Structure 1
């Protein structure tokens, strides 16, 4: 998966559009959106929804349980940077990488991921 440019989104938007991707009792803590795709951090997993095709009716749902994440890196935006970068490393797979706006809550996401990977 290449680097995606994403922006923070309201979890309610993901729930409205892709409720079928969530399980009972699953809560969404952080959501980032590209033009049509979503990267969500829930209480149980990282969920990447890749909307495909001209009409967007074809979708790929990639589930990454937190136990499968071997490491993560968050690079905050510097003085002249427009975005921050997030890399999630998976055992045996290429990392999930995406950029988000400089004003998005990177500290909160970093704390959230650290707590999920500490278990």
Structure 2
């Protein structure tokens, strides 16, 4: 039974495999697009707010395999902590200074 199933899959070969990879890629792309539209939610088990993540690579990032048997390679992407806005550095968010003679200008 296993050989009867194995022969048609072997005949399809690499084209079948590439098509299956492409279907997986498009499914993951749709899933990521759907998740990015959702608001962050609170995970009931961990109590942590879960938001959108950017771990999926695009098809344009895909490169040829470097070792035998490897079809694709993807570039390494280092995680970087987002820079937090310092409220005191932004002139629009500084606290109003009190004192003096306040004047209103139209």
Work out which structure has the larger RCO, using CA pairs closer than 8 Å and 6 or more positions apart in sequence: 1
| Rg larger in structure | 2
TM-score (norm 2): 0.22
In proportion to residue count, which structure has more strand? Answer: 1
In proportion to residue count, which structure has more helix? Answer: 2
TM-score (norm 1): 0.20
